Amino acid sequence: MTIAQQRRQAVTETAERILSVIGDKPTVAKMEAAKPYLMALAERRDLFPAEDFPAPDGGATDRTYLIFDNENGAALYAITAIPGMTYRPHDHGGSWAMIAAVQGQEKHYLYQADPSVPGRPILKDTLTCEPGTAVSLLPDGIHAIEGVGTEPLLHLHFYGTRFEDQGDRTEYDLENGSTDVFRMEAFGFIEDKR
Ligand SMILES: [Fe+2]
């Protein structure tokens, strides 16, 4: 089998296993139970060579590749990024999220919405997603991310709902204490590597 075929098989098996654990009602316990499967896939660096998943270029800080989706709208992406990449606080429009690292370090700032001040979610925790770790968000989760360390990043991002359908995604402008509705074009182009 070619690398692409091996990857397709491993990605599909992993994604279906995770989806069967999470089911329709994600909980912290289910996320924790499912994380090891995504981490095990992320350990297969041989399946994610730089030839197939190049780092961003031309001044871009990240690049997104679709590696799995299904008829229910779940989608798994491989995202390459450079240290220094940042993404301001956002939710995923009601979708759960799970992220594991193939390579590089991504710092996550985890927030909780503050209903009394909609534009200023409360920082609850920070952690670094690097090989051997994973991060998850429930459907109401909010996070900001930052590429740290010195190595280029390659992370696997799994969502119950694909980016295109995360329609009501909210982004937070902490400085102004305001919120914006996410625009798909801000995400750039998604390359199909299924
Ligand atoms: Fe995110």
CATH number at residue 72: 2.60.120.10
Summarised one tens digit per residue, pLDDT across range 171-194 is 998 888 888 887 665 556 889 999
- Structural domain harbouring 68: 3-192
In angstroms, the CA 10 to CA 5 distance is: 9
Summarised one tens digit per residue, pLDDT across range 53-109 is 999 988 889 999 999 999 999 999 999 999 999 999 999 999 999 999 999 999 999
In angstroms, the CA 36 to CA 100 distance is: 9
CB 8 within 8 A of CB 56: no
Cα(145) to ligand 1 centroid in Å equals 7
Q: What is the pLDDT of residue 46?
A: 97
Q: What is the pLDDT of residue 185?
A: 54
Q: What is the pLDDT of residue 175?
A: 85
Residue 17, pLDDT above cutoff 90: yes
Q: What is the pLDDT of residue 129?
A: 97
How many structural domains compose the chain?
Answer: 1
Residue 154, pLDDT above cutoff 70: yes
Residues of the chain with pLDDT > 90: what percent?
78
Residue 8, pLDDT above cutoff 60: yes
Q: Edge-to-edge strand order for the sheet containing 190-192?
A: 134-137, 97-103, 153-159, 75-81, 62-69, 190-192
DSSP for residue 67: E
Cα(1) to ligand 1 centroid in Å equals 33
Cα(2) to ligand 1 centroid in Å equals 31
DSSP for residue 11: H
Cα(33) to ligand 1 centroid in Å equals 21
Cα(43) to ligand 1 centroid in Å equals 21
- Tell me what the pLDDT averaged over the chain comes to: 93
Here the contacts of 107-115 (C-beta below 8 Å, separation 24 or greater) are: 107/145, 107/146, 107/147, 107/148, 108/135, 108/143, 108/144, 108/145, 109/143, 109/144, 109/145, 109/146, 110/135, 110/137, 110/141, 110/142, 110/143, 111/142, 111/143, 111/144, 111/172, 112/142, 113/140, 113/142
Q: What is the pLDDT of residue 54?
A: 95
